[in-house]
Structure 1
Amino acid sequence: MSTYTEGKVDHEHNSSSSDVEKNKSYPVHEEINSIDESLTKPDPKNPFLDRKVAEHYRQVYEESQYECRGVFDPHFTWDPAEERKIVRKLDYRVALSACLMFCALQVDRGNIAQAVSDTLLQDLKLTTDDFNTGNTIFFVSFLFAELPSQLISKALGPDIFVPIQICLWSIVSLSQGWINNKASFYATRSLIGILEGGFIADLVLWLSYFYTSKELPIRLSWFWSTLSLVSIAASLAAFGILRLKGHLGLAGWRWLFIIEGIFTLLVGIASFYLMVPSAVQTKSRLHPKSWFTDREAKIVVNRVLRDDPSKGDMHNRQGLTPKMIWKSLIDYDLYPIYALGLFQYGPALVLETYQTINLRELGFSTLNTNLLTIPSSVISIIFLLLITWLSEKVNNRALLCLSLPIYAIPLMGVIAFWEGTMTNKWGTYTLITLMVGAPYIHAILVAWVSTNSNSIRSRSVASTVYNISVQIAAIYSKNVYRSDDAPIYRRGNMQVFAIAVAILPLIIIAKFYYIWRNNRRDKIWNAMSQEEQEDYINNTTDEGNKRLDFRFVH
């Protein structure tokens, strides 16, 4: 068997892909001419033990100028204990950093809920419908910025573009402390939406560079648990900050925007240090010492590639061409998950958006209202961590996604048809709290899209399209409760109940669609001879999830 001579990993964090490649030196790999007979059969844990597969992807990585190709080694081995240690380091360096940056997103897009529990609407002379319009403007702006943001991020690299995004929207968020009418309210909502658009897809793409498809859901659950933790922290912070009302002649909600805007700006500045381009590019002026030893970097890269070889089919400073974008947009095999994105976020988000307004209408004070939102966040965290932990154990995404409609349908049915909404405020509060804390399957769906994309090109666009479907859900959810339906919102709750019911068949359809697609490919693939299969692997023009040797997860 040929042996691989390990070369030095270049840890330089360069300003552009061309600089990276110019200053890199890669080891020359020997041709695999002689290989143990037992290794010629593909191993699902290491597809590169098949010589033809290894040669095919080595060529793919060279042609794409993949930044980590110098440490790609089909026969490199490591101890499981080493891998566990490296994953812990990744959790600290990558996942924790992503969670902190997500804090900045949630603080600046979520503090509007605490602001309206104060006197924002009265001070700006806004109605509930004006508030709905402002939220709609935010999400429409967010939606239209998704794809352009992803294109910029893919060309510059998430490690450059994400910190810029955070700093820019933090400045706008801070400036909300001085808005004084409906027009300025709408303008700042739009600007924040534009600058935050694409952030989630950008950060998920960055996370996918370091984690396997099985590890990603649980890390994304930490990512979205941050949302609930921030909601709790923001409620507690609002309890104190809103008491600054009158200081320097400013309303409490103005202090809220100013103080939290400063906090997120500091996070944005710190994120320039927290993010790196890749596992082999962690040394720079900001990082005098590399995150990993040469061996550790090699383990990080090879474990990810063996899980998903497509993660090296583009380099991390390579932009997407119009043709690539179009091919990704028409990838119908991801449409079932996009459809779920249109509905899964709706029921809980409707009640979450109006939670503080509803609690005020039930007679709770401003300060108590913010504290009473905390239990729903705690419930949401418990559900999120539980179902994503189970997803890693049972490896059945659709089954765990069913937890949402099974939980939400009966609960939302009670909310929609119950006659005691306004007369039993604690009963109504309990129902709203349980519904806002409904199982959050978003992390599973994001990882599901990423895995079933099977290429960097498709993954970049697909994550964005999925997020667009979620933003569409956010837009309609912000307009379900209308002034003419207040304060019980009977019509609105009936609409939310219908959305919850629709989620159930969509999940079942997605499950059986992917089973059907895999069965069709099995039939074609198994009918081919070994020579035909090898010829297909080396010469096919099929890309991404259209390859016959790819199987969809479900």
Structure 2
Amino acid sequence: MSITEKVDVEHSSPQIVAEDQDPAVVRKVLLKTDIRVLPILTLLFLCSFLDRTNVGNAKIVGLEEDIGITDHQYDIGLTVFYLFYICSELPSNLVLKKASPRVWLPFLTILWGAITVCLGFVKNFASFVAVRALLGFAEGGLLPGMVLYLSWFYARSDLAVRIGLFYTATSLSGAFGGLLARGLVEIGPRGGLEGWRWIFIIEGLLTVVCGAVAAIALPNNIESAKYLTPEERKVALQRIRRDDPHNTGDVENETFKVSEVLRGIRDLRMWLSALAYFSILVGLYSFGLFLPTIINETGLPSNPNEAQLWSVIPYAVAALFTVIVAIVSDRIRLRGVMMLITLPFAIAGYAAIANITAPRIRYGMTFLMATGMYSSVPCILVWNSNNSAGSYKRATTSAVQLAIANCSGFVATFIYPARDKPLFRRGHNVSLGLLVAAWFLILANVLYCAKINRDKRLGKYDKYAGLCNDDRHPDFKLML
């Protein structure tokens, strides 16, 4: 059967079509898409996390003293970022659905890059808070937008490893950010600017350049991807439609329905994963913002600049494990179950560091903390997208999950106050409790998804058999 003939019968026999595809062609399609899309998204996400957390590097080399703010005012500046970040996520995803992704995602990148440059020129508390608010508003749409964007290019079983690959940018940004900050600090004082200001200026300009590259190189969707031949585009579309046999695959022209947005907001699976993600991100964000400070307080580094370098190694180890976990998750098609295995590493790390005073052991625990949290994130990021059908519902669940989860920033910025030095027991215990809660929320979601799949096999969802692009369809199997 030719590829053209396969497309003619895809709606009547999608699974047969998928199984009949040439594995060599499938590998070629995936490789081409990986090469064209993933490096650009990884670059954008690295810039995002770098520009979000470089304030932690600036803090330990003079930011607070030079602009005359207290530790509490610094925390307020971090919190304002998350407030505006959260508010922009769902509107941005709905705009992305209607607008051109190759325009919207690079536009957001260039905008927050320019705002990051402005952070290098703040003079007082008011300007610090204002610029951080604008930065949050500009950055908020990137991650939910990328998750939605990738779901238009890959089948469900392909997504975790791809998201895992670009999400390693967050752990790599921690490693790279420490090295870059260490070098950039040495520029100042120059041009009347202290060294920490150059961290924001140079990193912001690099982000603007990366946004311009993305505007040129990103494709809009798989249907219009010029890097694929017409036959390869058909194969790619068939693999995506295989996950939902009644998916029309017409992403560009799907009609907007408020009911689909509301269905996404009311989805219990979304709320369970969002609350679990919230709990994980409290630890993840506080880890990114305060790791240089935590390491500095162990007494192992001889000075704050050396602490920047010590922060590199836990991130590098976490990056490796994140990719490994994502690959395994895609191979066995399990999301929540994988997190039930990875989160205990972070739980053990926080439990130990909160109760141990030996500096070397405390530093060793940061490896467990980073590995357990970072390796869990690709699975939870992709879980809602995997279990949602209909692009507007998928856009909603992805954005709302991240909006809820990023409320963790309000907690993360206040649980490591300077007065808790050097052990930071309160912050570690808060993160520990939330990670335990995340483990039980994920377990509940796994059991709930298994129940829905069982009910579909028993015919309890047969009333939805006539629906297209809908995860309630009896043939749509949820991933656990």
User: Residues 71-114 of structure 1, C-alpha deviation per residue, up to 9 Å, x if partnerless?
Assistant: xxx69954211111121111100112211221221222121122
Pairing 1:315–2:251 present: yes
Looking at structure 2, the residues matched to 536 and 132 of structure 1 have their Cα atoms a distance apart, in angstroms, of 49
Quick check: 1:328 aligned with 2:264? Answer: yes
Residue 336 of structure 2 contacts residue 379 of structure 2 at CA under 8 Å; is this kept in 1? Answer: no
Equivalent residue for 2:370?
436
Alignment map for 1:189-338 (pairs within 5 Å): 189-282=132-225, 290-309=226-245, 312=248, 314-316=250-252, 320-338=256-274
Kindly state the Cα deviation for residue 376 of structure 1 after the two structures are TM-superposed: 1.0
CA–CA separation in structure 1 for the residues paired with 2:84 and 2:247 = 30
Partner residue of 2:413 out of 469, 478, 486: 478
Cα offset, 1:439, TM superposition: 4.2
- Structure 1 segment 36-55 matched on structure 2, within 5 A: 48-49=12-13
Match of 1:94 among 2, 22, 37: 37
Checking the alignment, whether the CA contact within 8 Å between 1:314 and 1:457 is kept in structure 2 is no
**Aligned counterpart, 2:474:** 548
* Structure 1 residue 4: Cα displacement: 4.8
Unaligned runs of 5+ in 1: 7-28, 33-45, 55-73, 283-289, 527-532
1:122 to 31, 40, 65: 65
Alpha-carbon spacing, 1:205–1:402, altered in 2? closer, same or farther (3 Å): same
| 8 Å contact kept, 1:154–1:318 | no
User: Matched residues in 1 for 2:18 and 2:328: separation?
Assistant: 32
Separation (CA, whole Å) in 1 of partners of 2:293 and 2:180 = 18
CA distance, structure 1, for counterparts of residue 146 and residue 233 of structure 2: 20
SS at match of 1:238: helix
The residue that corresponds to 1:145 in the other structure is: 88
Letter in 2 for 1:393: R
Q: 1:109 to 1:350 in 2, by over 3 A?
A: closer
Within the candidate set 110, 126, 133, 1:167 is matched to 110
Per the TM alignment, residue 186 of structure 1 is displaced from its structure 2 partner at its CA by 0.5
Counterparts of 1:108 and 1:310 in 2: how far apart (Å)? Answer: 41
Which one has the largest radius of gyration? 1
Q: Structure 1 residues 107, 550: closer, same or farther in 2, change over 3 A?
A: same
The question of whether the paired residues in 1 share the 8 Å contact of 2:178 and 2:309 is answered with yes
2:353 to 399, 403, 415: 415
Question: Which secondary structure state, in structure 1, belongs to the residue aligned with residue 104 of structure 2?
Answer: helix
Question: What TM-score results when the alignment is normalised by the length of structure 1?
Answer: 0.80
- CA–CA distance in 1 between the matches of 2:223 and 2:468? 29
SS of 1:480 mapped into structure 2: coil
Q: How does 1:59-74 map to 2 (within 5 A)?
A: none
For residues 338 and 185 of structure 2, the distance between their equivalents in structure 1, rounded to whole angstroms, comes to: 40
In structure 2, the partner of 1:361 is: 297
Matches within 5 A, 1:463-474: 463-474=398-409
1:483, CA displacement in angstroms?
4.1
Q: Check whether the contact 1:343–1:500 (CA below 8 A) recurs between aligned residues.
A: yes
Give the aligned residue type for 2:360: W
Matched, 1:509 2:444: yes
- Map of 1:391 onto structure 2: 329
Counterpart for residue 35 of structure 1: none
**CA–CA distance in 1 between the matches of 2:4 and 2:360?**
68
Quote how far apart the aligned CAs of 1:405 are: 3.1
User: In structure 2, how many angstroms separate the alpha carbons of the residues matched to 1:500 and 1:247?
Assistant: 44
Question: Does the 8 A contact of 2:346 with 2:372 survive in 1?
Answer: yes
State whether residues 143 and 472 of structure 1, in contact with CA within 8 Å, keep that contact through their aligned partners in structure 2.
Answer: yes
Q: Percent same amino acid among aligned pairs?
A: 25
C-alpha separation in 2, matches of 1:506 and 1:333? 10
Q: 2:277 aligns with which of 341, 364, 368?
A: 341
Are 1:404 and 2:342 counterparts? yes
Q: 1:498-554 CA deviation, whole Å, 9 max, x = no partner?
A: 11222222222111111112212211269xxxxxx6x963xx358622223322110
Paired positions, count: 477
Partner Cα separation in structure 2 for residue 543 and residue 224 of structure 1: 28
Residue equivalent to 1:375:
313
Structure-2 separation of matches of 1:395 and 1:536: 24
Q: Pairwise mapping of residues 93-112 of structure 1 onto structure 2 (< 5 A)?
A: 93-112=36-55
Letter in 2 for 1:123: D
Q: 1:494 aligns with which of 429, 443, 459?
A: 429
Q: Residue 336 of structure 1: CA displacement? A: 2.1
- Segments of structure 2 that go 5 or more residues without pairing to the other structure are none
TM-superposed CA distance for 1:312, in Å, is 4.1
CA contact (8 A) 1:171 1:261 kept: yes
- Name the aligned partner's letter for residue 98 of structure 1: L
Partner of residue 15, structure 1: none
Quote the offset at 1:199 in angstroms. Answer: 0.9
Give the TM-score, by structure 2 length: 0.92
Counterpart CA distance in 2 for 1:445 and 1:416 is 26
